[in-house]
Amino acid sequence: MMEEYTFSSAQETALPQGLKVAPVKMDEEGLLPESLDEVLSNWDESARGARKPFVLYTIPTGQNPTGATQQAERRKAVYKVAQKHDVYIVEDEPYYFLQMQPYAGADGEPVPPPANHEEFIKSLIPSYLSLDTDGRVLRLESFSKVLAPGSRVGWAVGSEQIIERFTRTCETSSQNPSGISQLVLYKLLEEQWGHAGYLDWLINLLQSFPESFIPHDQGTDKKQHWIEIDWRKHPGLSSGKTREEIEEEVFQAAVNNGVLISRGSWFKAQGASEEKLFFRATFAAASSDAIAEAISRFGTTLRQEFGLN
């Protein structure tokens, strides 16, 4: 099972291995425990052509592509559903340490960042691993989103039995991360920074990320912007164009206007609803000025496509 919109590479890795995906609905806070329970409680093996799911893959923090973050109570509720149906949870958390302070509004006083290591650690939303009492969680983490995107180094935390199987699988697939990356990270984290230095770095990211990438009048705790388009108002609908064709047309028009924005269909889980149309933008790969220009060009694209000029 996956969120109805999810990290495309995770799904594309699963499907060639014969794994079937069951989508779970979301809201602004991410995965809905009620939807998860409904999927599992009403599972019909003969109708679905597959046995009842027993693994949940989720991105709880800064979910890709929606940017949603599951709060503590939401995670507890999802974990209870997993216990009820004996489901194993794979929590993919590359963005976990990028939990920004709550947005106080354009006129509000900004919430100060954590002042020290203890405050920083306490401010983090509890992970599924920290809630786990049954050994039903495998946690995946990465340096790519917080330290060096090109490092291609991550780690997994779980029960001894699962990690042993995980290691054997890696030995016959991805093998080891780059030796150069491992050496650089070891020198930095072990010999230069230590734990204290790494925590200092993470706190600094929280202080610099919003200032560098988020317009001061549009605060957010998301790493992506998930933009819904009312495709039923597109002029092409009257001539019989489908949602997929309209999405393609808007995407190509945006490219022609010099802005590259991801199509929502790239992230749609197998079997998810076809009712809505989304595009995804990220603020982590460009300057504030470039982002403002890109959004302006995308706005121009939408006005052209929907005949609003």
pLDDT tens digit sequence for 204-223: 888 776 554 554 344 444 55
Residue 86 to residue 55: CA distance in whole angstroms: 9
DSSP assignment of 232-276: GGSGGGGGT--HHHHHHHHHHHHHHTT---EEGGGGBPTT---S-
> Residue 8, SS3?
helix
Query: Is pLDDT larger for residue 224 or for residue 94?
Result: 94
pLDDT computed for residue 104 by the predictor: 67
pLDDT tens digit sequence for 4-41: 999 999 999 888 988 999 999 999 999 999 999 999 99
pLDDT tens digit sequence for 130-186: 999 999 999 999 999 899 888 899 999 999 999 999 999 999 988 888 899 999 999
pLDDT computed for residue 121 by the predictor: 95
pLDDT computed for residue 174 by the predictor: 84
pLDDT tens digit sequence for 60-101: 999 999 989 999 999 999 999 999 999 999 999 999 998 877
Residue 47 to residue 174: CA distance in whole angstroms: 36
Residue 236 CA from chain centroid, whole number: 32
The H or E element spanning position 120 is helix 117-123
Q: b/e per residue, 219-258, with b = 16+ CB within 10 A? A: bebbbbbbeebebeebeeeeeebebeebbeebbebbeeee
User: Mean pLDDT across the chain, nearest whole number?
Assistant: 90
pLDDT computed for residue 6 by the predictor: 95
Predicted TM-score (pTM) of the model is 0.89
Residue 129: is its pLDDT beyond 90? yes
Half-sphere exposure of 263 (CA within 13 A, CB side): 15
